[in-house]
Structure formats: C-alpha cells, structure tokens
A and B are shown apart, each in its own frame.
Chain A
C-alpha cells in the first residue's frame, strides 16, 4: 500500500489518482479476497538475489501463475528471480531497408516497385527542379534579394518518394525541409517564390518567413517555425479523419531527428499509439540539427528505435533511395489505414547543404564527409544511374530541362520581386475570423498615422 501510495508527485496532483487508485487497488483487494477464501498460500516469490544457485532455481519456479493478480501496468510481463538489466546493446539496431544501391542497381528484384517511365521521369525531374530552385534561391538570399532560405540538398528522394506513395487527399504536416512534397503535388515555381518574397500573390499573405509554405488545395498544412509542434497536430487530424465515414485519408507528418527530441514528439507518439490514429510519422534523419550531430541528439537506435517503446510499428530505410522511400511510405500508408494505427518511418539521409542561409556548416563538419554524400550517395545521382540502365535518361533532354528550370526560376524571381506586397492593412486581418473592435481601432490609428507620416513608410512597395 505504501509503495503504491508513493506514486509520482505528478500523479498526486491530478485529483483523479485517488479514483483510479481505488479501482486498481479495489481489484487487487477483490482478488486477494478470493485467494484468502480458497486458503492458498500467499505468493512465494523468492527474494531478489545475485546468488547463481538461487537465480537458477528462481527462474525455474517463478512464473505469472504464482501471483494472483497481474500488474495492470505490464500485463504481459513474466517474473524472473534475478535482476535482468535491459541493456541497449542487447537490442539489434533496426536495419536500413534499401531497394537500389549507389549505382542504381536493384538489390532484390522482388522489391523493384515497377513504376512506369512517366512516373520515374516525374520523380527525377521533380528532384532536379527542387535542387535547381534551391541553388538559385540560396544564391538570391546571398545577394540580399530574399531574407532567408533553407535548401533541401540530399533529401530530395525522401520528399519525392514519399509524396509519390501518398494519395493527394492525404494531409501533410511538415517541418520546413519538405518542399519536394509540394513540388510533387503541383505547387508551382511561382507559388514557391512568391511566398519567399511575401508579395501579394503569396497564399500566406506575406506574414511568415520564407520557406513557410502552405496550400489548402494541395492538402499541405502551413509550415510554422516552432519545432515538433506539428506532430501531435497530425495525430489529432488523423483521429478526426478516422471518425469520418469511409475514411480513405491518412495524415503524414515530417520532422527531423532533432525535432524528435522535443516533448511534442513524445506526446504525439504516445497519443497516436493510445488513440489509434492513422498517421505516418516520417522522420528525416539527416545526421544534424543545425550543428548538433545526431550522436549528441540521442543515444538510442535513432528514431525508429523508439517505436517499440510506444507500441508502434517502425521501418527504417535509405532516404537517398527514392524507391525505398516510395515502397516504405506505400506500405506505411496501407498499414495505417488498414489498422487505424500509427507508424514511424525513419529516412536515413545526410544534410548536404547548410542548415539555412544563416548557417555555415563548415564550422562543424569536415568537407570530405560532405563530398561523398554530394556525389556517389546523392539521391539524384542514384536515380540517374537507374534511369540510364533502363535507357530512360537522355543527357541532352535533361540539360535542356535544367536550363529551362533555371530560366523559369530566374524569371520568376524577377517577376516576384516586382509584384507589390499585400495591402499593409493585411497585417491586422486573420488574427481572428472577424476583426474585433480593439483591432479595428488599432488599424484606424495606424491608418491615421500613416496618412500623416507617409514619407517614413515603404508605401510604394505595398498594394493600396
């Protein structure tokens, strides 16, 4: 009783603990009553001892049968009579599923997804588009034309491969390095660049930093900067979809291995598991959270290794392999919708670019390491090899494609730069569904001020 009473102090405050305590303890009491009635001896569990002889004897005789009730917190566990440390070393690391090697060869033909030429070409081109756009927008930030940018270098395959395996109806909650998912779904070059400029064509009305994309039409929930927050939200959305009749829609949420250290990730994993949410937790493990290498981020077997602790399925795969990503996501989607259960996918990759335009990654990692990932282990290189073998790759055609993308991106930058920013009064809109009185007053006050001090404000850049 005393031991049970010393529940965590956290439990003490909940108020409900007394009730649940009563029920739990009441059950135990009832069962105890029954064995007292049948006059059987009380549990003969041997005292814990490191003595080998006692250990062996204990292990043979001890079993769940000797206790007349089960601990509700671990119903399936059996007894042992010597302390058995569960060491992390004794758990086999989750293997990395791969379909295609560095030369674009399929390791196991049964795993070939057999995608047609059009689909594979779209995959390749979307990856190239993303890569090309990234290079130019990165440079344009360097020239001070946009305020901020984050590239997707090295992770193109995990975006495209997963997006291709989803239904366009599936909702996506991202972190910020998943622009490829939008590319696949049809977000245009102008959509991307207008957002980065925050001009009047930006769907988000110029309120967020660059790369914080969102699209209602493409079921891509608007990105926000706080890390990990989207993960429990994805679980909630998945739960709501599950309750809709004939639900054919799942939710996928992307996050980095650094974000996985946030409390929200724990919350999301546990909520999704206990509330049976059809959600795919897609972790992009690219080895770094800004400058922090993953070995300073966690000591367990990555993020997939946590799944079992939450009672969840997991799959780890090569995130530089677009086919492994595709197969894994397809499998995960079928699983979550069939079982109404969550799954953790862990895409292993390497963040080739700097964390953002505000970061210089040479300060914390060697150039040689980067070089390997930027060449032989690059997702685009791998798919190119695969296409070459199939005779689906045409060098000239591809060069033309890259050239045309460059041209489109550059011309869009020029165009987006010239589009006026939204009416500055948009600053006050959408705080609430309807503007409350105090905000109307504040907007009027700013209108008066601006009218009197026009020369101090960049009004010519904004729509009137």
Chain B
C-alpha cells in the first residue's frame, strides 16, 4: 500500500509522460479539447516504440507496462470534408459528446466520475460548459446507471451513459439485455429507449488483468434489440458515437481504452456520423481476408505488411466496426474473392463473436473456401495480468495463422 501511495504522488511530477502514466490516469494538462491542440509527439513515440522496457524515472530504473502489442495506423483520410484537427481518441470522444450536448438540449452525460472529466478524460470540460444538471456523477452502481439511462430515454431525452470499464457492465446486464433491448418490442412500440447510448472502455491495455481488459461484445451480440459498435481510432470513435446518439435504438460503444491516448489522427472538427452496421475495407488484398475490430485492426494491418514481406501474401484487412448488426455482405464478398479468412479478436475463442462470423462465412462462402475459417483469439481463460503477452492474439500468432491458411 505504501508503494502504491508513492507511485500515486509521482504521477503528479512534471516529468510524467504517456508512457509512465497508468492507463486509468490521463494527462491533466490536456484540459481543453476544442481550443487546445496538445503536442502529441510523445504519444506517437510511445505507440511506435512499444512503450515497454526500462525507462529511468526519478533516477531509478522502473519496469513499465508491456502494453503496445500494436502500432497505431491512422486513417488514410478523414471520413468527411472540412477542417480537421489532430486529436487522440479521448479528445475525439469528448468532442462528440460536446457536439451531442450542444445539438440536443435534452442530452445528458452521466456515469461514475464523469463530472471532473472522467477517469479517461473523455468528459473533460463538459460539466463546466453544460452545467451540473446535464453532465453529472452518479452513485457507483452500474445497474442503476443503466436503469436510470433507460428511464431518461423513455421520455425521449438523449442519455449518454458511461460504464467505467466494460468489465463492470455485467451488473447492468439485466437492465441492458432484459430491459433496454426489449423495450420497443415488448410494448408493441408504445415505449422505447432508443435515445440511449452506453459507452464502455474495453480491451487489453498491457496490465489490466481480469477486470480492466475484457472485451464483452459477444455477450451483447446475442441480444436482439441492441446495437454494438467498436471504434478503431479517433475518427471512428467520434463518428460512431454521434451515430449512436442519433440512432433510434439502444447502442453500446465499446471503446478500446488502449487507444484513448495512443491513437492520434486528423479528425474533422464538424459533427459527422459513421454508419452503424457497415464494415470498412482498410486494405485491399487478394489472398487472405483478415477480419477484426478495435485495437486488433492495427495488429492486423501490421500483420498484412509482414505477410506481404515475409510470405508474399496479399491480405485484405477489414474492420468489422459494427458487431450488431454486422456487415455480412462486405465480409462474405471479400472471402468469396480471397477464399481464405482469418478472424482475430481479443476476447476468448469459445462463443466469441468470431464464431458467429465463421459459421456465417462457411454457410455463405462454402464453395469459395480454400481452407477452413481460422480464428486467432484470446484463450479460453480469464484475462491474465503478467501473462498478457502470451494471451493476446498478437501479430506473431496472426502471422502464423496466415501461414497455416496458405499451407493448408
């Protein structure tokens, strides 16, 4: 405990960088998103160098997290025309919520610790701008947050509710699955909660262990009535969040937390929406289709480059983006073209969303498949702490998977 306190104070020394800052504490100097463009060089450096190894701090060498199993690949071009600003993912999300609050007088932002800016800085400055009535802390109770959000949405007001970590969404499972998802259906469309959006940080972060790393999308993908999306970076995060707020169905945005600061790119300043239910082909290829979402997309992009260089294999990389409903057409068209497919996700294998993709692909593309559908995923274990490098479906496991597909 004493060590913990010391570490805690050291976070407030001016020498703090993204690399030595724990994932749940953000950089306080990035206070204003709209009117401040921070120097993000250190973030890019952290992302490209892997942010691991020995970094001297306070004159002592300290072992830091072993997190960056990916290299962030910014979007090739902004999704819409108009002026852009370089921002990371938490800033893009912050701007999206800012726009949502500005555009809808009824919109509310709430959750645990959102008032001071959120533990990931996503709601920075919003309470100051929109008041305590519209941006506020709730008691620490996920089922309460979800139930409260449904009630707000029942009246037609926009509810943007935060689950602090996707790992803690399970107390709200009943409210989300039995209530939010079925509201419109069971009432014969008399009542709905379509104006609600849940945001939840998800995915591996280097040292999050069992309860700060999970990717629970498959649990929710099994629930008719919900929409579930996962952004791969700032542009998608902003576009999807605004689309979810606008959408007339209850939506969950799972935000890969490791991208909050590591993902930096040019983002249009204006409001725009990324379509829900639409996958993105990020790299065209002819030999193997690689499908993933969230952080895994950046792993797959690197894997595609490695496959080209090392195996002379041309990979088509597709970001599924939307888990429910998902873009069957884009995936199946690609697989029909390449004849081989590798699906990769951080969540465990058994009944992961990859299973749904695999089953549909074999049903739709049976005559086109040159090799079995392969899934490279987290293992069927809880998400471990020190073993994370051995748990995640990293580039080496994915590349080995491609080799297997080609050699079949």
Contacts and interface: CB of A to CB of B under 8 A. Distances in A.
Interface string B166-198: 001001001100110011111111111010000
B138 to A, nearest CB: 6
B147 A231 contact: yes
Interface in B155-172: 155, 157, 159, 164-165, 168, 171
B188 A204 contact: yes
Contacts of A5: 1, 4-5
B325 A438 contact: yes
A434 to B, nearest CB: 8
B386 interface: no
Contacts of B24: 15-16, 18
Contact of A236 (B4, B151, B187, B248): B151
Contact of B151 (A207, A240, A434): A240
Contacts of A241: 155
Interface string A267-279: 1101100110000
Interface stretch (B112-120, B283-291, B370-378): B112-120
A226 B174 contact: yes
B225 A432 contact: yes
A75 interface: no
B149 interface: yes
Contacts of A429: 189
- Which range contains the number of A residues in contact with the other chain? 35 or more
B140 A10 contact: yes
A262 to B, nearest CB: 9
Nearest to B137: A274
B154 A264 contact: no
B5 A224 contact: no
Interface stretch (A87-95, A210-218, A312-320, A354-362): A210-218
B184 A433 contact: yes
B164 A270 contact: no
Interface string A1-43: 1100110001101111011111000000000000000000000
Most chain B C-beta atoms within 10 Å of own C-beta, residue among A11, A234, A430: A430
B21 to A, nearest CB: 11
A231 B146 CA distance: 11
Contacts of B139: 267, 270-271, 274
A233 B143 CA distance: 10
Nearest to A202: B188
Given A15-B25, A433-B248, A438-B325, A22 B147 contact: no
Nearest to A6: B1
B190 A234 contact: no
A239 interface: yes
A436 interface: yes
Contacts of B108: 239-240, 243
Given A216-B191, A222-B191, A275-B136, A14 B184 contact: no
A232 B164 contact: no
Interface in A390-431: 429-431
A203 interface: yes
A222 B277 CA distance: 29
A232 B175 contact: yes
Contacts of B144: 232, 264, 266-268, 270-271
A202 B187 CA distance: 10
Interface string B76-116: 00000000000000000000000000000010100011001
Given A10-B140, A222-B190, A226-B178, A430 B148 contact: no
A222 B12 CA distance: 51
B261 to A, nearest CB: 14
A143 interface: no
B8 interface: yes
B379 interface: no
Contacts of B1: 2, 5-6
B246 to A, nearest CB: 11
A224 B180 CA distance: 11
A224 B150 CA distance: 13
Interface residues of B, number: 70
B148 A222 contact: no
Nearest to B167: A13
B184 A232 contact: no
A6 B329 CA distance: 53
Given A239-B152, A433-B184, A224 B179 contact: yes
A194 to B, nearest CB: 11
A202 B150 CA distance: 24
B211 A226 contact: no
Interface string A232-261: 111111111101000000010000000000
B159 to A, nearest CB: 7
B13 to A, nearest CB: 14
Contact of B187 (A11, A14, A204, A243): A204
A226 B168 CA distance: 21
B345 interface: no
Interface in B253-286: 277
Nearest to A205: B188
A222 B112 contact: no
B307 to A, nearest CB: 31
A270 B112 CA distance: 14
B56 interface: no
A447 B16 CA distance: 63
Nearest to B7: A18
8 contacts: A14-B140, A16-B164, A204-B190, A239-B148, A263-B171, A267-B148, A275-B136, A432-B249
Nearest to A208: B186
B310 interface: no
Nearest to B226: A432
B179 A235 contact: no
A329 interface: no
B179 A226 contact: yes
Nearest to A232: B147
A432 B184 CA distance: 7
Contacts of B134: 243
A15 B146 CA distance: 20
Given A236-B149, A240-B151, A207 B191 contact: no
A18 B6 CA distance: 12
B382 interface: no
A215 B186 contact: no
Nearest to A276: B133
Given A15-B164, A20-B113, 8 more contacts: A18-B11, A203-B188, A221-B191, A232-B148, A235-B147, A243-B157, A432-B249, A439-B224
Most chain B C-beta atoms within 10 Å of own C-beta, residue among A16, A21, A226: A16
B238 interface: no
B328 interface: yes
B2 interface: yes
B25 A18 contact: yes
A438 B324 CA distance: 10
